[in-house]
Structures are given as C-alpha cells and as structure tokens.
A and B are shown apart, each in its own frame.
Chain A
Amino acid sequence: MIWLGIETSNAPLSIAVVKDGQVLIEIVQNLKLTHSVTVMPTIQELLEKVNLKPSDIDGIAVSEGPGSYTGLRIGVTVAKTIAWSLKKPVVGVSSLKVLAANAQLFNGIICSLFDARRQNVYAASYTENLSETVIEEQHISIDELLEKLKEMSKPVMFVGLDVAIFKEKIVECLGELAYFAPTSLQLPRASKLIELVQNEPLPSVEEIHSFVPKYHRIAQAEAEWIKEQKRGNQ
C-alpha cells in the first residue's frame, strides 16, 4: 500500500510517501512559501525521486484542520482532487494530533496548539502515545486552556511553533509541570499523518466529494448573520 501524505495546515509544508509502513521520502520545510506554489511541484518531485507514478498511489492522508483556512483548503483540495481522480480514498487527520504525535513518547500530557490571534488558540491534549484525548481539539482562549491543564496536575509537553508566543504565560501558570518540545519536533510531519491512519479502516471513495476542512469556526460573516437572525426572532 502506497500512501501520499500532505500537510499544509499552517505555514510549514510537509509531503511524504510511505510504502507498506516504510517512509520512502519526506520533506518538511518552514519557509513560509505559498502552499499553492509549492505543493504540486513538491509532490511531483518526491514521486519522481522514488520512481513512482501518480497512479501508484493507493491512499492519501491530509491534515484536515484546524489551522490557516487557506492552507487547509489548498491541502484538502489537492488531496481530494488526486483521490477522486485516482478513485482512491482520502483520509483526514487532525492537524493538532499530527503535531502532538511528534512528542507521543512523552510520559504525561501532550498539548499541541496553533495561535488563533487575540489570546486564542486552536489546541488539543492527549496522553502518552495519543492513547486518550484529554482535551478535545477546539478554539479556546489560552488562559482557559492553561487552567484546564493545571487542574490535571500532570507534566505537560507543549508542541508547535506558536508555543513560543505563549511561553511566558505557560510557565507562569504551570511552573515546573511545563515542558517544551525541542526544535526538531516543532514542525508537523506528513509521515506522521500516514502513521496515524494506515491501520484504520479506509473511507469509501464515495465520501471524497463531501470531504472538507475542519475549520472549527464558522466564517465571521456567517456568525454575524446568525446573530442578526436570532435578534430578529426575539
């Protein structure tokens, strides 16, 4: 079984090709280049290097969110279009879970997060080996997240490039319980995406059309419109 992994949920880019549980090739970059420009040439280049054709791909794993709306849409659009063109399944994986997987051997709680601006984050937390989700992925204020983690009274490993933004706050709240992943574990890896799904049952190809990113937030205009409707109904 040959998998293509695509991770474009935030600024970093990662593409991987995995064959029968072995990583054949993987690229992880943090160059803040436009995913729209880099994704397809990178996929082409990696497949060429491992001497595979697009039609050799049996399944596609893609980071489905949360993250940058545009980044998610580029990854999901490329993944679903390749999947639909090949009539092969596409599987979405939480971008927070993929990131947390970098620190899955940590004996404690693993918390992955992305900055969502105005002191908010997209975050989730898991136990060792991601065996249990202790905080479901959500859009949450950093203060509320840290309070939840504090209540658990366990060591917490923070993973993600955006952790740096909140480091002071984290230390202030959790003190010696706070651990920070080393630099080499801060970027999401497409091979991890594949690792997380390769032993799971595959979705059918009929589900490709309805596959969309998990934004975790409705669009601003829609939120305002709903608010207005509610006001109108009162």
Chain B
Amino acid sequence: MGEFTMKDTIILAIETSCDETAAAIIRNGTEIISNVVASQIESQKRFGGVVPEIASRHHVEQITIVIEEALEKANMQPSDLTAVAVTEGPGLVGALLIGINAAKAFAFVHNLPIIGVHHIAGHIYANALVQPMQFPLLALVVSGGHTELVLMKEHGSFEVIGETRDDAAGEAYDKVARVLNMPYPGGPHIDRLAHEADEAVEFPRAWLEDSYDFSFSGLKSAVINYKHNMDQRGEEINPAHVARGFQESVVEVLTTKTLRAAKEYNVKQVIAAGGVSANKGLRTSLEQVFEQEGIAFTVPPLKLCTDNAAMIGAAASYMYEAGVRGELSMNGVPGKELKSW
C-alpha cells in the first residue's frame, strides 16, 4: 500500500450489516489494534435464522458499548484516529442504519472523515491483515448472503466474474441444516458431520456450462427431495451421509470454478473470504488444488472469515489512501454493488 511516511493511518471501523455488532481499530491497513464482535447468535438461533427486526434492536443495544470497547482495548482516544469507516452495504437495511448513523455521529463530534465500505470489499481485504495482496488476484467470496468470484487487478479494482444466480452457498448450508434438524447456523454442523461420514449420498453439481456463475437452489431441492422420498418409503436418512454428499457437491463446484478462473486470468494469488471460507472441507480442497498448481492461496483465520469490523477497517485504510471520503448524508444501501474505488 501507499507509504505512511508522515503519520500512521488509524481507522475506527464499524460493521452492523447482519447479526454481529462489531468495531475495530486498524493501523495502516495491516495491523489489528483491537477487534470487538458482539454476536447475536444466541438470540437469533431461537428463530432458526436472522430476523431483521431483532437484529436491528440488538445493534442499538450494543453499538456504543462495542465502539467503546474497541477504543479501550486499543488504549486509544478519538483524537488518535485518522478516520471512521462503516459498512454501507450490502446487508439488512435496518441493521446497516445503526452502524452508519453511529459512525456519522461519532465522526461529526470528533471532526473525522467518514468512509463507507462495501461489505464484500471488507471480506476480501481481511486477507490484507494476514499478508500483502498480490495482483492480479482472484477472490472467492462465500457467505450466508454471497457467493462471488471477484477479480482484482490492483488495490481498489473489482470485477465480479461470477456470482450465484439463486441461493448463496451459506444459505444452502443453513437450509439443508434445517432439513437435517440441526441448529442455526447450520454450516459448522454440516462440515463436522461430513467429516465423520464414511460414505456420501450422491447429489448433482450445477456447472452452468462455461459460466463462472453458481447455483445452489437445485442442490438444496435435491436434498429436500431425497429426504422426502426416504420419508415416503418409511426409511431413515443418515444425516452424515447427506451432509457429506451435499458438502462434496458444494466444495467440488466452488473449487473447480475457482481453479479454472485462476488459470484463465493468470492470477498470482487466490484468496477465500466470507463466513463459509471457515468451512474445513472447502479450505482443505482449495489448499490442495492451489498447492498443486503452484498458485499462492490464502484464507484468513476463522475470526476474520465471519463478519467483523477489522476487515472493514482494512479496506477503508486503502480507500483513505486513495482519497475516498463519504458524506454525513450517507445511507444504508442494502443491495450495494461492488464497484472499484
């Protein structure tokens, strides 16, 4: 990134796009000074998924506590900060609005610039907190709300070369987990079960021909139909076999398409980002193929895969260097497109 000869760039970042209230302080885009996440999983699991109204209510309860904790853990004062960053979208609009309005109010009182960050750019830049990014770079972003292949030719340049046409990968995990009567969030349970299974139920793969797009709703339906047919015949399903079959389908499609794109665009580095990149099955598969291909592959540590504010701060540091600034009229943009800065 740019030189920090004059003075460190210290960003307070806030993220409230879904069900985590998070704040972090990042130095020079690479160093996490503090990283606080207040999770709502305990509350939301009652409903088997994230209820937007409940998420918004929890964010209001947590927001100043989380920001205060981030400053205290960093042993910093507002006067030490260079800018305030916040997730502008995509996400749940009511949830986004809490982080955005808190960020604007804080920035206003302390006379700091404000930077609105794209949530997916944040997930990608979580990797900058692990090691420097090498371009051209291919990012596989997989989470409860996203499944995208993003090509980056340099910092701040994003080209979405493939995305899901229906369900996100994480969404499919959650839905299949529900079919298998597992608690929310389902991903980690399926991942664990899949590893324990000695055999797999065969499920289809959606290749969508030469496209880099994804589709997971057919796979989800195949799992539901399988269970339905077994129920009709009065037979018990083996959840582990179903979990392994489902996971194998998801992982094979994600890995194959990512590899093909990495070769076509001749990238120097492939990164995985987003909540589903915490999945062991996916990590292992990607690590193996890219080691064979001799292409650098990185995936952030688990706590930087799920939603957090450190990643927003990392992306914002590069945006700050590039001169990107937001306004006090910033609004939540639930369907925000990933654009270059």
Binding site for B on A (CB under 8 A): 34, 36-41, 43-44, 54-55, 69-70, 73-74, 76-78, 80-82, 84-86, 208-210, 212-213, 215, 219-222, 225
Contacts and interface: CB of A to CB of B under 8 A. Distances in A.
A70 B108 contact: no
A40 B64 CA distance: 17
Interface string B321-333: 0000001111110
B108 A212 contact: no
Interface stretch (B45-53, B116-124, B213-221): B45-53
Point out which of A39, A73, A80 has the most chain B C-beta atoms below 10 A from its C-beta: A73
B152 interface: no
A53 B331 CA distance: 24
B54 A81 contact: no
B138 interface: no
A213 B329 CA distance: 22
B105 A78 contact: yes
A70 B60 CA distance: 11
B331 A37 contact: yes
Interface stretch (B95-103, B142-150, B190-198, B295-303): B95-103
Given A34-B331, A40-B328, A80-B64, A85 B109 contact: yes
Contact of B63 (A77, A215, A220): A77
Interface string B59-91: 011011101100000000010000000000000
Contacts of A69: 53, 56, 94
B329 A219 contact: no
A81 B101 contact: yes
A222 B57 CA distance: 12
Given A34-B331, A44-B328, 15 more contacts: A36-B100, A36-B101, A36-B330, A39-B101, A43-B108, A54-B109, A77-B60, A78-B102, A81-B64, A81-B109, A82-B105, A85-B78, A212-B60, A219-B54, A221-B47
A43 B109 CA distance: 11
Contacts of B105: 40, 77-78, 81-82, 85
Interface string B24-60: 0000000000000000000000110001011011001
Q: Which 3 A-B pairs have CB atoms at the shortest separation, nearest pair first?
A: A81-B105, A40-B328, A85-B109
Contacts of B98: 73, 77
B104 interface: yes
Contact of B68 (A37, A54, A77, A84): A84
Contacts of A82: 105, 108-109
Contact of B329 (A37, A78, A80, A209): A37
A171 to B, nearest CB: 35
Contact of B54 (A40, A77, A222): A222
Q: What secondary structure prevails in chain A residues at the interface with B?
A: helix
A212 B54 CA distance: 13
Contact of B61 (A40, A54, A86, A212): A212
B53 A220 contact: yes
A213 B61 CA distance: 9
Contacts of A39: 101
A78 B97 CA distance: 10
A221 B108 contact: no
B54 A221 contact: yes
Contacts of A77: 60, 63, 97-98, 101-102, 105
Given A40-B329, A44-B328, A209-B65, A85 B101 contact: no
A36 B106 contact: no
B263 interface: no
B63 A81 contact: yes
Nearest to A219: B53
B199 to A, nearest CB: 36
B29 to A, nearest CB: 25
Contacts of B56: 69-70, 73
Contacts of B54: 219, 221-222
A220 B54 CA distance: 9
Given A36-B101, A36-B331, A85 B106 contact: yes
In this complex, the member of A78, A82, A221 whose beta carbon has the largest number of chain B beta carbons within 10 angstroms is A221
Nearest to B64: A84
Nearest to A53: B111
A84 B330 CA distance: 21
B110 interface: yes
A57 to B, nearest CB: 9
24 contacts: A34-B331, A40-B328, A41-B328, A41-B329, A69-B53, A70-B94, A77-B60, A77-B98, A78-B102, A78-B104, A80-B60, A80-B63, A81-B101, A81-B106, A81-B109, A82-B108, A85-B105, A85-B110, A86-B109, A209-B68, A210-B61, A212-B60, A221-B47, A221-B51
